[in-house]
Amino acid sequence: MRQLNFIETGKLSWEEVPEPKLQSEQDALVRPITVARCDLDFAIVHGKAPFMGPFPLGHEFVGEIIELGSLVTDFYVGQRVVVPFQISCGECLLCHRHLTSSCKGVPYRSMYGLGALGGEWGGALSDLVRVPFAQHMLVAVPNSLDPAALASVSDNLPDAWRTVAPYLEESPNQSVLIIGGGAWSISLYAVAIAVALGAKQIDYADNDPARLALAESLGAKIIAENIPRRLGEYDITVDGSANPKGLACALRSTTPGGICTSVGIYYTDTTPIPLLDMYDKGITFKTGRVNARSYIPKIIDLVEKGRLHPEKITSKVAPWDEAIEAWHEPCVKVIISR
């Protein structure tokens, strides 16, 4: 089968590789039909993240079921499904606590399309992917929805969801600040989710005119400036800047008792955080890898109800054979579709 590999900075290549096969009665084989570029993928391709090629690329996707093990009884061949980018078993203690990113049933950090860090599970830009624990892993795509709109439900949409939704579901009467600029699509998905859940105020800060215009069109009030020390006081703050200044600003802009989530990956232990300010206000800070599988059904439900429109964040939908060119495009969200 054909598979797109990340080779080294700036270089991707289609290669011919053996097809995966069912290895257990719990497996499914899925043919990816639409793949989204994760915010991290763009950084990897441009040498801005410490991932060494070669490895098969792509980890946000909707596919069509081609073959099922005999224990996967909730699905049928030909069905369209979202595949979470992280592999989880659904049965261990951590999965039962919804901490699917840290599943004990598979090697730690098992993921599609991220090379040695995630293990050899293959990538989504290929003709076939093996999905273990398919009864738990797969989530059906409603027939009424465009699969391309749901491609990012594997990863970046849940990553955005966890920054705002758990708190807005408790009470929408809260203010939200999202600092973008690094995790491009996650930050804008967070805006869209906060709007969908009725947050009383949503401010989006960035210095890129195109992303600011998109945030404004989604319903945010925009703050167009380079990152200052503090931007005010908000109940919920989100650092999507991937910039230590953005992280510090989000933390300083969190109201007493508020909650700040950072989706950026800081690759060192020396990133400064304003601990005294945080202590003084008693805020909660969350960072870490998203537990993608746990949030997927809620996101699909919101899209199905017509309250969330992920396609508004999509910058470009490209045909399968143009994946290499499209993957390099410096825009918020690229989707590859067959």
Which residues contribute to the site for Zn ion (CB under 5 A)?
38, 40, 88-89, 92, 95, 103, 105, 155
Token look-up 């998203």 returns 290
Return the number of the residue (64 or 159) whose C-beta is nearest Zn ion: 159
Nearer to Zn ion by Cβ, of 88 and 241: the residue is 88
When the beta carbons of 105 and 166 are compared against Zn ion, the nearer one is 105
Indicate the residue among 103 and 300 with the shorter CB distance to Zn ion: 103
Nearest to Zn ion of 223, 332 (CB atom) = 332
In the complex, the smallest distance separating the C-beta of residue 218 from Zn ion, rounded to whole angstroms, is 21
**Cβ at position 114, least distance to Zn ion in Å:** 7
CA gap 113, 120 in Å, rounded:
8
Q: Smallest distance from the beta carbon of 101 to Zn ion, in angstroms? A: 10
Q: Which is nearer to Zn ion, 40 or 188 (CB)?
A: 40
Q: Minimum CB separation from Zn ion for residue 291, in Å?
A: 11
SS (H, E, C) the chain: CEEEEEEECCEEEEEECCCCCCCCCCCEEEEEEEEECCHHHHHHHCCCCCCCCCEECCCEEEEEEEEECCCCCCCCCCCEEEECCECCCCCCHHHHCCCHHHCCCCCCCCECCCHHHCCCCCCCCECCEEECCHHHHCEECCCCCCHHHHHHHHCHHHHHHHHHHHHHHHCCCCEEEEECCCCHHHHHHHHHHHHHCCCCEEEEEECCHHHHHHHHHHCCEEEECCCCCCCCCEEEEEECCCCHHHHHHHHHCEEEEEEEEECCCCCCCCCCCCHHHHHHHCCEEECCCCCHHHHHHHHHHHHHCCCCCHHHHCCEEEEHHHHHHHHCCCCCCEEEEC
Shortest distance, position 145 Cβ to Zn ion, whole Å = 21
Q: Find the length of the chain.
A: 338
In 3D space, the residue among 305, 37, 292, 334 whose CA is nearest the CA of residue 160 turns out to be 292
Min dist CB 215 to Zn ion, Å, is 21
CB of 155 or CB of 235, closer to Zn ion: 155
CA 187, CA 185: separation in Å to the nearest integer?
5
Sign of the torsion formed by the C-alpha atoms of 318, 45, 84 and 267:
negative
Judged by beta carbon, residue 83 or residue 103, the one nearer Zn ion is 103
Minimum distance from CB of 272 to Zn ion (Å)?
26
Closest distance to Zn ion from the beta carbon of 175 (Å): 28
User: Which is nearer to Zn ion, 155 or 203 (by Cβ)?
Assistant: 155
Least Å from the CB of residue 94 to Zn ion: 6
